[in-house]
A = this chain, B = another copy of it.
Amino acid sequence: MLGSGRRRSAATYLTDEVRTMTTSSPTSTRQVNGVDLDTLMATVQQIKDDPCLGACRFRARNAWLGGNRNRTTVSEFHGARQDIPHLQTFTLEADEPPILAGHDEGANPVEHLLHALASCLTTSMVAHAAVRGIAIEALESELEGDINLNGFLGLDPNMPKGYTEIRARFRVKARPEDLPRIRELAEFSPVFNTITQGARVVVDVQAS
């Protein structure tokens, strides 16, 4: 599904503006929305100069802990033609609530997906607003998504197994006239685009 049928989102029309910003203020020392524009612009400029630097591979390792519990560790990613270690290793726990035969020792996988989406929409709006000089004073969100367990449990083969709709409601403290533009910037979000456009997932199972 990639590469075909993608709708031309509002976000794509902002490209020229980003180009102008990154060209006109590569040595800015401003912080906007708490984002260090020097650092961000330096990365943007390097990728503009050498687009191949933009190819990233993000990674995670997961270990099953028995029952519905499992744990992911994230320690490094690949970008700018090199493996880049995180400053710390992140450990993420998953479990299920008792009604789904778990012990509630972690959010469940579909709740983690909502977190990924909420955090990505937030970061995308804040960082892209910063680049454009749009100040955001406060931002919070509530997400809710619909899943019908008749799909996951295999009770109804015609029922979708994943989310059918996710609603993300943001409350933003900013100049009222900036709110529509801030909403447009959400469409840069990689997680938003992965979910709305879909992505290929290759699952391989081998003996250990």
Contacts and interface: CB of A to CB of B under 8 A. Distances in A.
25 contacts: A14-B154, A15-B156, A19-B155, A33-B67, A34-B66, A39-B101, A54-B148, A55-B149, A59-B114, A61-B118, A62-B122, A63-B139, A68-B126, A84-B97, A86-B97, A86-B104, A94-B123, A101-B127, A108-B119, A109-B120, A109-B190, A112-B191, A162-B199, A179-B207, A194-B195
Interface of A: 1-3, 6, 8, 11-12, 14-15, 18-19, 33-37, 39-40, 43-44, 47-48, 51, 53-64, 66-70, 72, 74, 77, 79-80, 84, 86-88, 90, 92, 94, 96-101, 103-104, 106-124, 126-128, 136, 138-157, 159-174, 176, 179-180, 182-183, 186-208
Contacts of A47: 149-150, 153, 155
Given A58-B147, A90-B106, 4 more contacts: A39-B101, A70-B122, A110-B116, A145-B199
Contact of A100 (B43, B164, B166, B169): B43
Nearest to A123: B68
Contacts of A55: 146, 148-149
> What are the 6 closest A-B residue pairs judged by CB atoms, nearest first?
A162-B193, A162-B194, A109-B120, A34-B67, A94-B119, A34-B66
Nearest to A119: B94
A189 to B, nearest CB: 7
Nearest to A190: B162
